[in-house]
């Protein structure tokens, strides 16, 4: 069992470099979007860039290992993939060359956690307008809190090429699994529980949810994306008091080798 109090992501660490590329995906890449609890500030100024600004109460930019964004133009089957570049207090992605119009944006930032081997994914989605005359679209960076507009997902990675992306926030139903070899795994299971810790009285179970798959779990791209299995769990937790998250992961491969981990997050 691993007890993981939610760390403060604002302590600086070693700064990596993130390169910038632009590619067009032939197939449509479908990305789910989240509800907007608290939108980062957005302003339009000159130059053709998407900017994520790391100031005020945001997590430190030097904790970000990589970042990218998908842009899908309304009415088009084409999705553009851009990597962010680091520039002073910002991440920037050059949108020069994109046709003017309305786009759906899905942005992903990948961060380290100080004094831990844990990794985090920050996800944000928005609808934006790209004009003919350029302009910057500026967004505030993640602040590292559970109810920020940037959704926080813990990344649980295993040496055998299996990665789980599961939210810290019990009110988010989404999860994702990636495998280097989808045919290796014959059983996958995720259990999520929300508790309310009461001083001197122990913990009260608020809600629980479970997902299990034992055949044809992955897509052809070796991925699982699911937003429905934990929907009842997430809805049950809303408007209730909870301060503890438990995530149990079970995976069994075709050689009957078993992964079984319990992770505990305390708010």
Alpha carbons 38 and 148: distance in angstroms, whole number: 6
Least confident of 10-14, 26-30, 164-168: 26-30
Alpha carbons 229 and 173: distance in angstroms, whole number: 7
Write the pLDDT tens digit of every residue in 133-172.
Answer: 778 899 999 999 999 999 999 999 998 899 999 999 999 9
pLDDT surpassing 70 at residue 90: yes
* Strand ranges of the sheet holding 135-140, from the earlier edge strand across to the other edge: 44-45, 135-140, 48-53, 90-94, 85-87
State mean pLDDT over 220-233: 97
CATH architecture label of 15-27+36-140: Sandwich (2.60)
pLDDT surpassing 80 at residue 255: yes
Residue with tokens 């810790």: 197
Contact of 67 with 154, CB cutoff 8 Å: no
Each domain of the chain, given as residue ranges in start order, spans 15-27+36-140, 156-266
Contact of 186 with 253, CB cutoff 8 Å: yes
Count how many residues are written for the chain: 267
pLDDT surpassing 60 at residue 69: yes
Q: How far from each other are the two terminal CA atoms of the chain, in whole angstroms?
A: 17
Q: What is the CATH number of domain 156-266?
A: 2.60.40
Alpha carbons 117 and 119: distance in angstroms, whole number: 7
Q: How confident is the model at residue 1 (pLDDT cuts 50, 70, 90)?
A: low
> What pLDDT does residue 6 have?
41
Answer whether 15-27+36-140 and 156-266 agree in fold: yes
């Amino acid at each position: 069992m691993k007890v993981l109090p939610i760390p403060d992501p604002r302590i600086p660490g070693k700064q990596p470099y993130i390169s910038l590329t632009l590619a067009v995906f032939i197939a449509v890449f479908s990305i789910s979007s989240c509800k907007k609890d608290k939108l980062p500030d957005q302003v339009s100024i000159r130059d053709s860039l998407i900017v994520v600004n790391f100031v005020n109460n945001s997590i430190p930019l030097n904790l970000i290992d990589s970042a990218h964004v998908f842009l899908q133009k309304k009415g088009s089957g084409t999705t553009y993939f851009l990597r962010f570049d680091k520039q002073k207090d910002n991440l920037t992605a050059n949108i020069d060359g994109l046709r003017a119009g309305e786009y759906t944006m899905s942005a992903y930032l990948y961060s380290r956690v100080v004094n831990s081997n844990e990794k985090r994914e920050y996800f944000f989605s928005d609808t934006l307008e790209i004009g003919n005359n350029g302009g910057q679209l500026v967004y505030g960076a993640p602040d590292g809190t559970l109810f920020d507009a940037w959704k926080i997902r813990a990344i649980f990675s295993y040496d055998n090429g299996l990665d789980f992306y599961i939210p810290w926030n019990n009110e988010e139903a989404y999860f994702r699994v990636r495998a280097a070899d989808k045919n290796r795994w014959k059983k996958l299971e995720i259990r999520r529980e929300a508790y309310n810790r009461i001083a001197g009285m122990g913990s009260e179970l608020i809600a629980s949810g479970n997902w299990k798959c034992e055949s044809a779990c992955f897509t052809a791209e070796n991925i699982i994306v699911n937003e429905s299995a934990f929907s009842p769990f997430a809805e049950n937790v809303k408007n209730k008091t909870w301060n503890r998250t438990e995530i149990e992961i079970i995976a069994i491969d075709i050689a009957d080798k078993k992964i079984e981990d319990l992770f505990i997050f305390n708010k």
